[in-house]
Amino acid sequence: MTITDGAISGAVAIGPFRLRPSFSERVWGRRDLRPWYGQVTSTAPIGEAWLTGPEAVIETGPLAGSTLSAAVRRYPREILGSTPSGAQPAEFPLLIKLLFPNEKLSVQVHPNDAEAQALGQPRGKTECWYVLACEPGAEVALGLKQGVGRAEIERSVSNNSMEELLEMVPVVEGDMVFVDAGTVHAIGPGVTLLETQQTSDITYRMYDYGRPRELHLQQGLSVMRTGTRAGKITPVEHPGFTRLIEEQYFTVDRYDLAPETAAELPGWSAGCLVAIDGSGIVRSEQASEIQVDIGQAVVFPLGCPATVISGTDGMSFAHCFAPPEE
């Protein structure tokens, strides 16, 4: 079998596979990413660890060395359970990241599906944040205060006072925050977040505290909404796991395993496991055993149920998955 970034040929049984995290430098990021990652070879602060994404490199199994985008384009039915019907190529539906803000992120907003498609993009960007670690007093901005509109925002950007227009929400470890498209939002320092979102990177930066970066104010004003459903989500306990969020584009469950115990993951939807504490082994009929450590992600193709076995110190992981295609 031959694998390249653009094509994959030869018969292959596709089971779960691990992806290599990639790190993005950001002015608001951190230099110390422990306990999630050890030494990262970068002279600049790291703001994001991309766990999935089009250019994520597969580390295990017969597709090792390929990017996630190349694998999904070649095997859409085997990985996603469907083939694309339009002009857009098949794409893994979820973009999952760890965020490490040491300073405030810019105030930004994302378009919804219809707005993105009007620009020739396949989808908009609705997301959620799961708080993995948190310093006392940490906050996020979710939406605009009552009565704030376009004119007030434009004035606030020119006089560096936009923060005063935002609804600030305190967060603690274990909070799940939903951020639907159209919500003006920002993340403050002192948190580590697991972000699950639609696979899209359309971001309109509306305000950046005077930092010399490009703003997209008019684009942001055109897609923002003064009222959204953004906010904290109450978890729901199920036998063996906790449902953190269930929305149109994604569901996120948390599993907490005692040492050397196991959890069964269903195979009815394409998804991803992210180890958020400890380590373990993923077993399935379609793939060899896969070691997964904290900060690593394993993709589960549709139709591939698997068993996750925790290590000697126990393991916690998030299972992030998209609804099956109609």
Which of left, alpha, beta for 93 (phi over 0: left; psi -120 to 50: alpha)? alpha
239 CB neighbour count, 10 Å cutoff: 4
Closest residue by Cα to residue 178 from 112, 245, 254: 245
- What 3-state class would DSSP assign to 302? coil
Whether the link from the prior residue into 35 is cis, omega within 30° of 0, is yes
Distance CA 303, CA 320 (A): 15
Q: Is 205 a catalytic residue?
A: yes
User: Which residue reads 């998955």 in tokens?
Assistant: 321
Q: Is 77 helix (H, G, I), strand (E, B) or coil?
A: helix
Q: Which residues contact 120 (CB under 8 A, 6 or more apart)?
A: none
Q: Exactly one of 26, 73, 74, 205 is catalytic; name it.
A: 205
Rounded Cα distance, 272 and 267, in Å: 11
Rounded Cα–Cα distance for residues 299 and 16 (Å): 5
- Which helix (H) or strand (E) segment is 73 a member of? helix 68-74
Active-site residue set: 205
